[in-house]
Amino acid sequence: MPNHTFAAADLGATSGRVIVGRVGHGVLDISEVHRFPNTPVLLPDGLRWNVLALYQGILDGLRASDQVDSVGIDTWAVDYGLLDADGALAGQPFHYRDSRTDGVAAREVWPRVPAAEMYRITGLQHLPFNTVHQLAAGAGSAQLGSARRLLLMPDLFTYWLTGSVGAEETNASTTGLFDAHTGTWSGTVIDRLGIDAGLLPPLRAPGDPAGTLLPHVAAHTGQSPGTPVTTVASHDTASAVVAVPATGRDFAYISCGTWSLAGLELDAPVVTEASREANFTNERGVDGTIRYLRNIMGMWLLEECRRAWSRQGLPAGLPRLLADAARARPFASLVDADSPEFLAPGDMPERVRAYCRRTGQPVPHGQGELVRCILESLALAHRGTLRRAAELAGRDITHIHMVGGGSRNELLCQFTADATGLPVVAGPAEATALGNILVQARAQGLVGDLPAMRRLLTATQKLRRYTPGAERAAWAAAASRMAVVRGSGQPG
């Protein structure tokens, strides 16, 4: 069988990349052909994504690629662009970290669809920026009033490439407008909130065709006219979970990037009240699987510290910061990596210090101390989340797969193994692009089902194993301390 090539446009919160993958019998390798920054822009009315720059990055990446057999797009979830009656983008899409949704759920949404009912229907964790809350925040605006279509980010880029409109289902499952049981838009939620159902395009499943490159796109990128665009698991986390190189069922995963998405792969949603209280989400994976997980603030805490340090002219190189963190005193101070005060962009070192001050802990001043505090706190959040997921879903976990950029962070991987007492298999770091490529390859009949895709990953990708260390008691004590810190850490 000759090898085929696929382009994955994978857009993350800080950068986008176009990665070309070669797939054949026993072959799966990737190379990055283009990487471009994703720099949000603060406009007078809020924080926006620079979607034109992102689209240009995708085009540049396709132009830098040799001829590909198909293209697939994935990005972060929940955010969307609105099309007007001419099919043009109306306004710039908001960034989910924009503050306009603060308090909107309680004020506008839950009075019409109570939170408990919402959870029973959608199975979605409460995040203030879920699409449903963003729409409620925009209700009555001229822009929403004139909108004819809502396209989630990957669907918007697909539309620009092909002219074809659809809503990919793994990403639709993050909106709060999608029924976790039926796998369709929820008429109940949409009606009760007075949302125009016509805004929501027909659903597509990963693997479905999404059209072919428009002639001007093909001409501009040098790709063949008629090159197909394939619907992939367009929610980046769903693509990352495809590429978890698991062999059995009793694994947990942490997709570790700007966010840490920590959880389990299940056959059916868990929408119990206990699950809602623990704020676990039931997002859709490929082949009807459920991604049962929680969002943990993730490497965002560290990335945002590094950005603040760069602005202040301080050293912000990762290897040096991690080496300093490795030498810093263990468990000096801990922060709740779920706390909403860490969500918005800003002076993260000062926010972490303020949190420690408020909770009566030593205030980390040096960069190494601060990074150690963040990484230990993340590892403890991984521990707490995975233990709770296992309890709520009635599953055993024997090992953890860490995928995504954060799986390159040796200190975080070792801390996660130590904190959970479970072996960690780290890699692949480019799980999202690999998942994107595998779903395209499957659509062309090159690979089989999910277990077959994962066997190909295990056989071809470099993985690293971390064994839990001997400091079990120290991590257990830190976990108990974290529970107390969390309790006292609510902003005044």
Show which residues are catalytic. Answer: 236
Using the minimum distance from each CB to ligand LFR, give the nearer residue, 77 or 325.
Answer: 77
Q: How far is the CB of 112 from ligand LFR (least distance, A)?
A: 23
Using the minimum distance from each CB to ligand LFR, give the nearer residue, 39 or 458.
Answer: 39
Contact call for residue 301 and ligand LFR (CB under 6 A): no
Q: How far is the CB of 169 from ligand LFR (least distance, A)?
A: 15
Are 378 and 337 in contact by the 8 Å Cβ rule? The answer is: yes
Q: Count residues contacting ligand LFR (CB under 6 A)?
A: 12
Instruction: Select the residue interacting with ligand LFR from 186, 239, 275, 295 (CB under 6 A).
Output: 295
Instruction: Select the residue interacting with ligand LFR from 76, 160, 185, 355 (CB under 6 A).
Output: 76
Contact call for residue 155 and ligand LFR (CB under 6 A): no
Contact call for residue 261 and ligand LFR (CB under 6 A): yes
Using the minimum distance from each CB to ligand LFR, give the nearer residue, 12 or 368.
Answer: 12
Using the minimum distance from each CB to ligand LFR, give the nearer residue, 70 or 295.
Answer: 295
Site string for ligand LFR, 87-126 (x = CB under 6 A): ---------x------------------------------
Pair type for strands 251-256 and 399-403: parallel
User: To the nearest 10°, the Cα dihedral for 85, 87, 92, 98?
Assistant: 70
Q: How far is the CB of 296 from ligand LFR (least distance, A)?
A: 10
Contact call for residue 258 and ligand LFR (CB under 6 A): yes
Sheet holding 209-212, edge to edge: 27-37, 15-24, 4-11, 70-74, 228-230, 209-212
Contact call for residue 237 and ligand LFR (CB under 6 A): yes
In whole angstroms, give the CA distance from residue 389 to residue 399. 14
Instruction: Select the residue interacting with ligand LFR from 78, 180, 299, 429 (CB under 6 A).
Output: 78
Using the minimum distance from each CB to ligand LFR, give the nearer residue, 78 or 156.
Answer: 78
Q: How far is the CB of 222 from ligand LFR (least distance, A)?
A: 30
Using the minimum distance from each CB to ligand LFR, give the nearer residue, 279 or 460.
Answer: 279
Residues 6+ apart with CB under 8 A from 413: 402, 407, 424, 426, 464, 466
Using the minimum distance from each CB to ligand LFR, give the nearer residue, 96 or 119.
Answer: 96
Instruction: Select the residue interacting with ligand LFR from 236, 303, 304, 369 (CB under 6 A).
Output: 236
Q: How far is the CB of 12 from ligand LFR (least distance, A)?
A: 6
The interface region with ligand LFR, picked from 74-82, 105-113, 369-377, 407-415 by CB under 6 A, is 74-82
**Residues in contact with ligand LFR by the rule CB under 6 A:** 76-78, 96, 235-237, 257-259, 261, 295
